[in-house]
A = this chain, B = another copy of it.
Amino acid sequence: MAADKLHGDLVAALTAIPLIDPHSHIDPYAPTSRTLDDILGYHYYTELAHSAGMSQAPLAADVPPVERVRAILGHIDRFNNTAQYRWLIDILQSFLGWESNHVSAADADALFAKSEAVFGQADWEQQVFEKTNLEKIFLTNEFDDSLEGFDTARYVPCLRTDGLVFQLNLPVIRERLAKRTGIQVGDAATLRAAIRKLFEHFVAHGARACAISLPPSFTPVHIPSAEIDRVLSGFEPNDADAAVRASAVFWTIAECCREFALPFDLMIGVNRRVYRNGVYQGQDLFDSRTSLVQYQELFNAFPDVVFPVSVLSSFQNQELVSHSWIFPNVITSGHWWYSNIPTYIASDLRARLQAVPKTKQIGYYSDAYKLEFVRPKFGMYRSVLAHVLADEFVRPGILSETQAVELGRQLLRENVRQIFKI
């Protein structure tokens, strides 16, 4: 069992490294779960339960939380093979004193009551930070989110720009933008002015990144000013200019990333609303017919902007590895969504460690909506990382165990500090 001991030792050493989680959807005003309902309400569970046969009735807002927990746990024996189920067990064991390796429908009421008591403690947020060995965590902020009233050194703001790029044709977006910035966008100059104002505001409040998720068909190109003026001068119902406008706004944001020295997180490849009757956040998928080569103009035009790139599939990971190997400004970033299961993490990570400079790899982010998920998700990653470090570096005699942990520290923490200037 020497192999297991090495893996265990590496996991222990990696777990001792304080985390800076560079991407999440935490609400800084309600960062932790109130009950098990908030845990099982994570879209991974609602979509797996629904996919396995649960109707959407228990997900309605007026259903009492305990009933929703009963419904989801009532289907969990259909998906207790999954990696997501292991996160749940980890949460139950780490935070609720659960001792079993399994959970079933019969445990719903007792676990709900327990969760209410534990999560309701006054210092629960602090307890989760400590049990997670978490130092900081990045947020995902809409451009008009409030950035006041929370500790931005702990909850690091990040400007999310999907709406600006892809929905500027909606009056509600333009109105919110005008309200936030005092600028009515109608041409290239006002667009730039409004976006600069957002950046000023975010940077003044400690933002460390700009971010966006992008559909597989997106190919950003530079749009001349006159053309930007045209596509911002009016919005037709059919929005024939949508693609040009998206490029125009996207490119302007990249220019601001350069001016304000913010990394631009690109989360590439998601098709929204593919399963139109899916649960909330359980409707999106990807499309293999896409390539990172679509971003070549961007990567060439902005050598001074750092682009941490996330992709959705393991085959696109090879493109990411190759682009990050060649382009100084392309960084591999985490293991996202449909690639965030151990088998894809393992093969994607192996390739990154064999071909991308170690200073250009952001190992992992939690993508969590509630703080309790940071621990199990990073735990899954650290276990895979320990296996890869053991197999590829320690056992072949390339690195000592201590050196391997240092390599892990680089991916888990040092690169995050370096790239996001923390």
Residues of A within 8 A of B (CB): 47-48, 50-53, 78-84, 86, 101, 271, 274-278, 282-293, 296, 299-300, 303, 313-316, 318-319, 321-328, 338-339, 341-344, 347, 350-351, 353-360, 392-393, 397-398, 407
Contacts and interface: CB of A to CB of B under 8 A. Distances in A.
Nearest to A301: B276
Given A274-B326, A288-B319, 11 more contacts: A52-B357, A82-B357, A274-B293, A275-B296, A278-B327, A313-B315, A313-B318, A314-B315, A315-B318, A318-B344, A342-B350
A244 to B, nearest CB: 22
A51 B278 contact: no
B325 A357 contact: no
Complex copy number for this chain: 3
B318 A314 contact: yes
A337 B157 CA distance: 39
A359 B108 CA distance: 21
A13 to B, nearest CB: 17
Contacts of A274: 293, 296, 326
A78 B300 contact: no
A194 to B, nearest CB: 31
A55 B356 CA distance: 17
A300 B315 contact: no
A359 B350 CA distance: 30
Contact of A315 (B78, B275, B288, B338): B288
A342 B83 CA distance: 23
Given A315-B318, A318-B338, A407-B81, A326 B288 contact: no
A189 to B, nearest CB: 29
Given A276-B300, A319-B286, A52 B328 contact: yes
A322 B286 contact: yes
A51 B328 contact: yes
A344 B314 CA distance: 12
B293 A290 contact: no
Given A314-B318, A358-B78, A407-B81, A289 B287 contact: no
Nearest to A289: B291
A285 B315 CA distance: 15
Contact of A358 (B79, B324, B350): B79
7 contacts: A47-B325, A48-B357, A51-B326, A51-B360, A81-B353, A86-B398, A287-B293
A48 B325 contact: yes
Nearest to A349: B343
A288 B291 contact: yes
A78 to B, nearest CB: 4
